[in-house]
């Protein structure tokens, strides 16, 4: 009965996630509607003011002025709500779209790189994530086993021999006694009990988080990257931080529940087991889905890194970026190992309070490893899931920060500075 209740709960979570996705897309579409209504009101106001003056006309003009004010307030309120769902701030002030006057560009590039690398390392801290046991840790476990066996042999000399506990169950699963005497299993089990989830380090062949190749160095003499390279890294970091915070919340909630029951949380009993990779498409999406077309999202990619769609013809609500649009679309993909019952919860948490919309979810069962000589995912059924998302970034806010080179590449124009316009008008 508990199992049924749990499945029903997460089914409800899935419905809630879809509802959240619908609300997010609806909210983005409302921006354009409110703006259109406001522009219509301003146009009508202009037509009225051009008519011959008179008491009746003045009354109509006053009413139209009031309607314009209401529309502007509604638009501003909606923009404020959207900005609240995108609280992204650059790692370095006065750096985008170009270093402020009086700032030395080279110094700011170096400072951005330092902060960027620190922010990437912090992602692992937020998740309490790490890798499986290293070769050094396995060797240390082997030495511990050797010493323990010597001590046990010395202790038992002269006495009756003790019967050894079986190393494997009848089903071929390594027992606790077997794990204590197997260096690989012992080291990996000890490591797993220290972690909430797995995530390969930044210098691994396939790191969990995308590490910009231009910003990997530490030399203070060779600066072979630009502000545009930093912008690309910044956008990907914003999305990675969003996803990491969501996954960390899922595991933290489960960990709190375990602690309340007097149990110790570790990767084997938590929902999110392994963050294989998070990858973000570099380009914003331009183009609309053709009428009647079917998105071709392909299949999950083997053991490699996540592979974002980056398709100009795939968008959840047939919405896309263009020079006059209210927002830009960016796609990203996650490859995770999670408890199969918690997959709807993971999707819901990523989409909650953000404009991240799920495009596709594909998954396959991960067979258990009874030897416990690699990553240990626990006793519950787990799946490797590939999740394709798109997110919407408010153009009026973030195109102001885009370097000129990127604006030109996309054919965008930088939004006017409203504060400067108001000062000029005054």
Q: Tell me: the pLDDT tens digits for 259-275?
A: 999 999 999 999 999 99
Tokens 């970026």 belong to residue = 321
- What's the average model confidence in pLDDT over 307-321? 63
With respect to residue 226, please indicate whether it lies within any of the assigned structural domains. Answer: no
With respect to residue 94, please indicate whether it lies within any of the assigned structural domains. Answer: no
Considering only the C-alpha atoms of the chain, give the largest distance between any 2 of them, rounded to a whole number of Å.
Answer: 119
**Average pLDDT across the chain, whole number:** 79
Give the pLDDT of residue 176.
72
pTM: 0.77
With respect to residue 54, please indicate whether it lies within any of the assigned structural domains. Answer: yes
With respect to residue 386, please indicate whether it lies within any of the assigned structural domains. Answer: no
CA distances from 70 to 63, 75, 253 (A): 11, 9, 42
The answer to whether residues 236 and 210 touch, using CB atoms and an 8 Å cutoff, is yes
With respect to residue 71, please indicate whether it lies within any of the assigned structural domains. Answer: yes
With respect to residue 77, please indicate whether it lies within any of the assigned structural domains. Answer: yes
Residue 291 confidence (pLDDT) above 50? no
- What's the average model confidence in pLDDT over 168-174? 62
3-state SS, one letter per residue, for the chain: CHHHHHHHHHHHHHHHHHHHHHHHHHHHHHHHHHHHHHHHHHHHHHHHHCCCCCHHHHHHHHHHHHHHHHHHHHHHHHHHHHHHCCCCCCCCCCCCCCCCCCCCHHHHHHHHHHHHHHHHHHHHHHHCEECCCCHHHHHHHHHHHHHHHHHHHHHHCCCCCCCCCCCECCCCCECHHHHHCCHHHHHHHHHHCCCCEEECCCCCCCCCECCCHHHCCCCCCCCCCCHHHHHHHHHHHHHHHHHHHHHHHHHHHHHHHHHHCCCCCCHHHCCEEEEEEEEECCCCCECCCCCCCCCCCCCCCCCCCCCCCCCCCCCCCCCCECCCCCEEEEEEEEEEEEEHHHHHHHHHHHHCCCCEEEEEEEEEECCCCCCCCCCCCCCCCEEEEEEEEEEEEEHHHHCCCCCHHHHHHHCCCCCCCHHHHHHHHC
With respect to residue 49, please indicate whether it lies within any of the assigned structural domains. Answer: yes
Count CA atoms closer than 13 A to 384's CA, side-chain side.
Answer: 16
Of residues 243 and 311, more confidently modeled: 243
**Cα 249 to Cα 126: distance, rounded to the nearest angstrom:** 10
Find the domain containing 56 and state its range: 1-84
Q: Tell me: the pLDDT tens digits for 182-212?
A: 888 899 999 999 999 999 999 999 999 999 9
For the chain, how many structural domains are there in total?
1
Give the pLDDT of residue 87.
82
Q: Tell me: the pLDDT tens digits for 70-79?
A: 777 766 666 6
**Cα 132 to Cα 130: distance, rounded to the nearest angstrom:** 7
Residue 356 confidence (pLDDT) above 80? yes
**Cα 63 to Cα 44: distance, rounded to the nearest angstrom:** 11
**Cα 148 to Cα 150: distance, rounded to the nearest angstrom:** 5
CA distances from 263 to 191, 256, 257, 339 (A): 17, 10, 9, 18
Give the pLDDT of residue 2.
44
Residue 406's DSSP bridge partners are: none
With respect to residue 331, please indicate whether it lies within any of the assigned structural domains. Answer: no
- For the chain, report the end-to-end CA distance as a whole number of angstroms: 70
Q: Tell me: the pLDDT tens digits for 22-74?
A: 444 445 555 555 556 556 655 655 655 555 555 666 776 777 777 777 777 76
**Cα 34 to Cα 71: distance, rounded to the nearest angstrom:** 7
Residue 279's DSSP bridge partners are: 333
């Amino acid at each position: 009965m508990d199992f049924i209740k749990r499945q029903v709960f997460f089914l409800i979570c899935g419905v809630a996630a879809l509802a959240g996705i619908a609300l997010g897309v609806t909210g983005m579409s409302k921006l354009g509607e409110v703006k259109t209504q406001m522009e219509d009101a301003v146009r009508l106001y202009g037509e009225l003011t051009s008519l011959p003056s008179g008491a009746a006309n003045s009354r109509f003009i006053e009413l139209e002025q009031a309607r314009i004010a209401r529309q502007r307030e509604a638009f501003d309120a909606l923009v404020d709500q959207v900005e609240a769902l995108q609280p992204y701030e650059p790692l370095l002030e006065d750096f985008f779209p170009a270093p402020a006057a009086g700032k030395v560009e080279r110094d700011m590039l170096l400072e951005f790189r330092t902060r960027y690398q620190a922010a990437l390392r912090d992602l692992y801290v937020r998740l309490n994530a790490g890798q499986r046991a290293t070769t050094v840790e396995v060797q240390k476990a082997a030495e511990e086993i050797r010493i323990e066996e010597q001590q046990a042999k010395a202790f038992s000399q002269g006495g009756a021999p003790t019967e050894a506990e079986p190393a494997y169950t009848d089903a071929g699963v390594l027992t606790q006694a077997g794990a204590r005497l197997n260096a690989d299993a012992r080291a990996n089990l000890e490591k797993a009990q220290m972690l909430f989830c797995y995530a390969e380090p930044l210098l691994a062949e396939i790191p969990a988080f995308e590490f910009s190749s231009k910003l990997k160095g530490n030399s203070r003499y060779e600066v072979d990257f630009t502000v545009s390279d930093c912008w690309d890294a910044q956008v990907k970091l914003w999305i990675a931080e969003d996803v990491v915070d969501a996954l960390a919340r899922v595991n933290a909630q489960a960990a709190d529940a375990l602690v309340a029951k007097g149990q110790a949380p570790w990767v084997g009993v938590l929902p999110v087991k392994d963050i294989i990779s998070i990858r973000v498409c570099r380009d914003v999406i331009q183009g609309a889905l053709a009428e009647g077309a079917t998105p071709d999202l392909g299949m999950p990619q083997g053991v490699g890194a996540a592979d974002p769609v980056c398709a100009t013809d795939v968008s959840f609500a047939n919405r896309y970026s263009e020079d006059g649009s209210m927002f830009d679309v960016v796609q990203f993909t996650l490859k995770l190992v999670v408890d199969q019952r918690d997959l709807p919860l993971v999707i819901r948490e990523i989409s909650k309070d953000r404009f991240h919309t799920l495009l596709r979810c594909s998954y396959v069962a991960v067979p258990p490893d009874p030897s416990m000589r690699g990553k240990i995912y626990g006793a519950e059924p787990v799946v490797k899931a590939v999740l394709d998302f798109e997110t919407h970034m408010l153009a009026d806010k973030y195109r102001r920060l885009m370097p000129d080179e990127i604006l030109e590449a996309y054919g965008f124009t930088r939004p006017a500075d409203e504060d400067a316009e108001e000062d000029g008008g005054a």
